[in-house]
Structures are given as structure tokens and as C-alpha cells.
């Protein structure tokens, strides 16, 4: 029987690439999304992957959404916490709402998804959780105290939960992408983007499928000895 995965933010950008990569290795994928119904329908029609709508920052909605996926597709074996938003601004200009929304979605979503799925993984003695962090959670970024804090928190969350799951066959890892050629990065002004690329040793933006390959490995049987780790996929832009 095929493993069942939920990819949050799974209908576009990096999330879409992850959904497709998992499908290619034989996983039954549920792609979560929060807002764009038209985009989600187009994604499902094109890929054959069913899309489920809920806000991962909402605890009750996440519990209900995961229960629906489990009822329709089977027990959830794999979770990829990819959903993320930005509300950029310096702290002098950042509202509390902009802080809270980013923390609730980017970091709180990881907690909400784990509460809904980790107990079942542990009981069945197999599970894979992959949390999508960011180079900006590792190195910080001007104007992103909310985003950097949330993504940095993901890395600590990963290490702690990995210790709780290890003996039960549940691995928990993170991937920290650098600058990837997605809609989010495309919104960056051209002159700013040029400066960013100039700082990437390999001399280009990453591609979503390059992140997805890393996720697929960590979610596979072959990735079972890797847990509590962060895989940086950033073209050499940040090394430590």
C-alpha cells in the first residue's frame, strides 16, 4: 500500500515541486493550500493530486483537515511543512499583526501539523516529517525579523521533535533553501535580485525541483538513518 503524504502549501512553487516528486516515487499525495481555489483546481486537474484547503496556522482547521485526508486517503505517513508567508518590514514599521501572522503560519503550522499526525506515525512505527526552513532563518535578513525568527525556530523544532520520534521510526528533518526561482522571489525588484544572485557562489538561483529531490530522499526508506538534520540547498551562499 502506498504511503500517504501531506504537503502544506503544496499546489504552487516549491510545494508543487515537492508534491510531484513524492508522487513520482509512489507516494499518495494530498496537497494542502490556504487561499487560491482556482490555482488549486488547475493544479489538481494537471497533476491528478487532490488538493485540500485549510489554514495551517489554525489549530482546529488543521486537525479537521488532516482527519479528512486520513479518512479519504489512509493514515498519514509523511508530512512536509512547506507552507509559508512573508510580511516584510523593519521592526520600526512592522505591526504586531504582521509578526503574528508569519509566526502562526510558518512556525505554528509545523506544530499544528505535528499534533495532528505525529501520534499516528509513532504508533505505526514509521513516519517522515520534513520542515522547510530558509537560508534567512540561518543567516538572518534585514527587514525580516518575523520570517527569520519563524524559520530559525523551525530548525530548533526539528532537532527537538527528532529526538522524540527516533526510537519509533519517525524521522524529522529540515531543508533550508536558498534563493529559489519561484513567484515569491520573482516579486523581488530586478536590481535587488541581481545583487542577491551576485552573492551566490554557483552564480544562479536554485530551482524548485532541486529542493524537491532533497525532500524525496528524506521521505524515502533510504533516508531512515537521517534525523534531526538540516540540509542546506543554497548554492553555497551560506556555509557554516
Q: Looking at 96, 147, 179, 240, which residue is catalytic? A: 147
- Angstrom distance (rounded) from CA 117 to CA 79: 8
In contact, 11 and 30? CB cutoff 8 Å: no
96 belongs to the catalytic site? no
48 CB neighbour count, 10 Å cutoff: 9
- Angstrom distance (rounded) from CA 54 to CA 63: 10
The residues facing 51 across adjacent strands are 31
In contact, 177 and 151? CB cutoff 8 Å: no
**Angle (CA) 82 9 218, round 5°:** 35
Q: What string of DSSP letters covers 193-216?
A: HHHHHHT-TTSS-B-HHHHHHHHH
Catalytically active residues are 147
Amino acid at each position: 500500500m502506498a504511503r500517504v503524504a501531506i504537503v502544506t502549501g503544496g499546489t504552487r512553487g516549491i510545494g508543487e515541486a515537492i508534491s510531484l516528486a513524492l508522487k513520482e516515487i509512489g507516494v499518495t499525495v494530498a496537497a494542502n493550500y490556504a487561499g487560491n481555489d482556482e490555482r488549486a483546481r488547475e493544479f489538481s486537474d494537471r497533476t491528478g493530486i487532490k488538493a485540500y484547503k485549510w489554514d495551517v496556522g489554525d489549530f482546529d482547521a488543521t486537525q479537521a483537515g488532516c482527519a479528512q485526508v486520513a479518512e479519504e486517503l489512509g493514515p498519514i505517513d509523511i508530512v512536509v511543512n512547506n507552507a509559508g508567508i512573508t510580511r516584510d518590514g523593519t521592526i520600526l514599521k512592522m505591526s504586531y499583526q504582521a509578526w503574528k501572522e508569519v509566526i502562526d503560519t510558518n512556525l505554528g503550522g509545523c506544530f499544528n501539523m505535528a499534533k495532528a499526525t505525529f501520534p499516528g506515525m509513532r504508533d505505526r512505527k514509521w513516519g517522515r516529517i520534513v520542515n522547510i526552513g530558509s537560508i534567512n532563518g540561518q543567516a538572518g535578513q534585514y527587514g525580516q525579523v518575523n520570517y527569520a525568527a519563524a524559520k530559525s525556530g523551525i530548525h530548533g523544532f526539528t532537532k527537538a521533535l527528532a529526538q522524540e520520534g527516533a526510537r519509533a521510526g519517525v524521522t524529522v528533518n529540515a531543508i533550508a533553501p536558498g534563493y529559489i526561482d519561484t513567484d515569491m522571489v520573482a516579486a523581488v525588484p530586478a536590481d535587488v535580485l541581481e545583487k542577491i544572485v551576485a552573492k551566490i557562489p554557483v552564480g544562479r538561483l536554485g530551482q524548485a525541483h532541486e529542493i524537491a529531490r532533497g525532500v524525496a530522499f528524506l521521505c524515502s526508506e533510504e533516508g531512515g538513518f537521517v534525523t534531526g538534520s538540516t540540509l542546506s540547498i543554497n548554492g553555497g551562499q551560506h556555509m557554516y
